[in-house]
């Protein structure tokens, strides 16, 4: 039987009326009125009863593209009775994410029994209000640039372990799934920077549990027909097993470290030492678990997917790859990159940033409407849901000339358009809730890209299908099978 937050989630969900669970039009507490449908919001024609749900589930981003072409930069999707208002313009994103914070908040402010709160609890990504501000202040030192710089060696050490395995096990021309390899190396990095080597033998368990849990959470948020989590369906039972596996590992290590008093200089040590500025109190074990889970969830899958798409794009643009190789050869000369090398690798960074423009790790940013308001003349009511589409914004032709083209030069020093809207590029969000780990992710992506690209050339395996899939992050639906060719260094 689950304990802690999950048990309370189950109990609350059991008390939600069935019709409310099916429509998801108001929160479990009943404190927010039923969301109203707004026929004056433009929309594509849907199918009876289900509305746009079949198209949304089949290809969410494709549905957004089709709707944007037909309806403009803001439109509504009807998902079996649940209304979702989609925003595809930087000015609309700015209004929601920065200017009108009083009217828009986290979906977890409506209810915590669907979506990522099921997995991440009240961690920084899900938290809000004064509690979020206190947690952000407590965790900010953990992600200070000086602390991040000290993690560079752990990143390149993990990269070297992976490259050694490639040299040992993979012959030239060998086909393999780059997406799987990037997930493995970033999981290795986050476990070692978070826990030193305490769970090195359980990383596969953690990775498998997280992959399923994140997919389950996104489906619970986007599919109103998914059964409530307390129903004893096979998928729900698998969810509870995966969550139990994750919690057993996380709680076990947190308790062991706190009881032993060992100091290893890793992220867990810093979280255990963090104190509330006002009360001087440390985090309790439930909050520690939620923050550790958040770092795990946000700290490996996003970078892994960004790197996977980067190697795919480089395989399709050999002229960009050649320029990258030339920079790496000139600056590194075959040696392992270090943190101090990063300022001398501007094209490497530009390649990674341009990849995140075309394939943003988090392609959508959901928000809840907390009070009656409007956007560009269209009404929104308290309880409505909106979704900022970073994917559409990153390809908006008004802000990105030749927007579909992979062009790393956009991000080179001196080449960036200073007049570009501040919300035209959102790989880590924007405003006060910008990702706290964005500097770590950029460093990690640059170092691994440099480390791999100077030693190997990766080519897309002939005939391998490439398609996008969104489950919180944007991943390749069928993996990314590529072949390996060693490079002279």
C-alpha 219/C-alpha 234 separation (Å) is 15
Local structure of 212: helix, strand or coil = helix
Task: Compute the residue count for the chain.
Answer: 489
> Is the pLDDT assigned to residue 9 strictly greater than 50?
no
Q: Which two tokens stand for residue 115?
A: 């979506």
In Å, how far are 76, 158, 396, 400, 417 from 105, measured between CA atoms? Answer: 19, 37, 25, 28, 30
Q: Specify the DSSP class assigned to residue 484.
A: E
Q: What is the pTM of this model?
A: 0.89
Q: Which residue has the tokens 């970073």?
A: 390
Q: Specify the DSSP class assigned to residue 228.
A: P
User: What are the tens digits of pLDDT across the range 81-138?
Assistant: 889 999 999 999 999 999 998 899 988 877 777 788 899 999 999 998 889 999 999 9
User: What are the tens digits of pLDDT across the range 12-48?
Assistant: 444 433 333 233 333 333 322 233 344 489 999 999 9
* 165 phi/psi in degrees, rounded to 5: -65, -40
Q: Which two tokens stand for residue 111?
A: 């209810």
Contact 203, 187 (CB under 8 A): yes
**Beta carbons within 10 angstroms of residue 418's beta carbon:** 4
Name which residue leads in pLDDT, 465 or 487. 465
Q: How is the beta sheet containing 481-486 ordered, strand by strand?
A: 175-177, 481-486, 456-460
User: What are the tens digits of pLDDT across the range 333-365?
Assistant: 999 999 999 999 999 999 999 999 999 999 999
Average pLDDT of the chain to the nearest whole number: 88
Interior angle at CA 475, CA 472 and CA 479, nearest 5? 145
Residues 6+ apart with CB under 8 A from 355: 306, 309, 310, 313, 406
Name which residue leads in pLDDT, 309 or 15. 309
Local structure of 334: helix, strand or coil = coil
* Strand 378-380 to 373-375 pairing: antiparallel
Domains of the chain listed by start with CATH number: 4-486 (1.10.630.10)
What is the longest distance spanned by two Cα atoms in the chain?
65
At residue 146, the pLDDT reads: 86
* Strand 82-87 to 385-389 pairing: parallel
């Amino acid at each position: 039987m689950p304990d802690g937050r999950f048990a309370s989630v189950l109990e609350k969900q059991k008390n939600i009326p069935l019709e409310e669970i099916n429509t998801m039009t108001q929160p479990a507490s009943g404190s927010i009125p039923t969301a109203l449908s707004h026929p004056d919001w433009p929309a594509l024609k849907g199918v009876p009863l289900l509305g746009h749900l079949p198209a949304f589930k089949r290809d969410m981003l494709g549905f957004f593209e089709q709707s944007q072409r037909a309806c403009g930069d803001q439109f509504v999707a009807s998902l079996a009775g649940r209304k979702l208002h989609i925003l595809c313009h930087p000015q609309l994103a700015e209004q929601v994410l920065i200017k009108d914070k009083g009217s828009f908040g986290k979906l977890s402010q409506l209810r915590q029994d669907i979506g990522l709160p099921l997995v991440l609890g009240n961690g920084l990504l899900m938290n809000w209000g004064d509690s979020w501000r206190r947690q952000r202040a407590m965790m900010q030192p953990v992600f200070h640039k000086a602390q991040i710089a000290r993690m560079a060696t752990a990143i390149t050490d993990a990269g070297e372990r992976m490259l050694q395995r490639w040299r040992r096990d993979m012959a030239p021309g060998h086909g393999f799934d780059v997406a799987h390899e990037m997930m493995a190396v970033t999981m290795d990095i986050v476990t070692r920077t978070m826990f030193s080597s305490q769970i090195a033998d359980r990383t596969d368990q953690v990775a498998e549990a997280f992959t399923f849990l994140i997919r389950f959470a996104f489906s619970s948020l986007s599919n109103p027909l998914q059964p409530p989590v307390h129903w004893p369906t096979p998928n729900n039972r698998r969810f509870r097993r995966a969550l139990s596996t994750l919690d057993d590992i996380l709680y076990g290590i947190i308790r062991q470290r706190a009881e032993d008093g060992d100091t290893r200089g890793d992220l867990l040590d810093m979280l255990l030492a963090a104190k509330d500025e006002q009360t001087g109190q440390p985090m309790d074990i439930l909050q520690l678990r939620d923050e550790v889970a958040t770092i795990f969830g946000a700290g490996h899958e996003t970078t892994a997917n960004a790197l996977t798409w980067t190697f795919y794009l480089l395989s399709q643009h050999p002229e960009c790859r050649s320029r990258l190789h030339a920079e790496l050869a000139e600056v590194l000369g075959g040696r392992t990159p270090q943190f101090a090398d990063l300022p001398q690798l501007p094209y490497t960074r530009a390649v990674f940033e341009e990849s995140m423009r075309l394939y943003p790790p988090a392609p959508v940013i959901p928000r809840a409407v907390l009070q009656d308001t409007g956007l560009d003349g269209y009404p929104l009511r308290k309880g409505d849901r909106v979704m900022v589409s970073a994917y559409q914004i990153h390809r908006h032709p008004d802000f990105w000339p030749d927007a579909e083209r992979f062009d790393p030069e956009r991000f080179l020093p001196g080449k960036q358009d200073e007049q570009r809207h501040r919300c035209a590029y959102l790989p880590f969000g924007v405003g006060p809730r910008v990702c706290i780990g964005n500097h770590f992710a950029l460093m990690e992506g640059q170092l691994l890209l440099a480390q791999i690209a100077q030693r190997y050339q990766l080519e897309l395996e002939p005939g391998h299908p490439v398609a996008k899939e969104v489950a919180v992050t944007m991943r390749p639906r069928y993996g990314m099978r590529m072949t390996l060719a060693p490079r002279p260094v």
